[in-house]
Amino acid sequence: MTDAATPPAFGFVKIIVKDMARMLEFYDKVVGLKAVNTIESDTYLEVLCATPGMEKGPYVILFYHKHDPEITLGNGWGPIGFWITGVDSMYKHALANGATPYKEPYDSSGFRIAYVYDPEGHEIELVGSAG
């Protein structure tokens, strides 16, 4: 049960990555996420990434296992979604920066939507206004 005075707030989504430097560069170049904090131990490295001006979150956290970097992507989760303007141009920009196409831009219920996979296969949904 939550305290009505302080309801829970969404804080982050965490994805496991194989190549931290490559993924930091991708998410910075494509959607403008900036590394705002790093947490490191002997066994892992995680980098909290946020939209400029929103350094206190919510975050996309990139997480790297130092001693077991092998990962398998499953089908029990959906895409990481980003609200953007210019879905078509962002889709092309993502592809030019290492993304793999999944669903080309299309209109649905007043939205313009496209899907790509990041360089390690995580699904990304790009959503904006149609028209």
Give the mean model confidence (pLDDT) for residues 66-90: 85
Q: Does 124 lie in the same domain as 102? A: yes
Q: Return the pLDDT at 3.
A: 57
Q: Does 90 lie in the same domain as 51? A: no
Q: Does 66 lie in the same domain as 95? A: no
Q: Does 92 lie in the same domain as 43? A: no
Note the pLDDT tens digit of each residue in 20-76: 999 999 999 999 999 999 999 999 999 999 999 999 999 999 999 998 767 777 777
Q: Using the 3D structure, point to which of 35, 70, 105 is the last residue of a domain.
A: 70
Q: Does 109 lie in the same domain as 62? A: no
CATH number, position 53: 3.10.180.10
Q: Does 15 lie in the same domain as 65? A: yes
pTM of the complete model:
0.86
Domain that holds residue 123: 78-131
Please report, rounded to a whole number, the percentage of residues in the chain having pLDDT higher than 70.
Answer: 96
Q: Does 37 lie in the same domain as 19? A: yes
Q: On the CB side of 112, how many CA atoms lie within 13 Å of its CA?
A: 14
Q: Does 64 lie in the same domain as 101? A: no
Does 65 reside within a domain? yes
Does 25 reside within a domain? yes
DSSP reduced 3-state for 94 = helix
Total of domains in the chain: 2
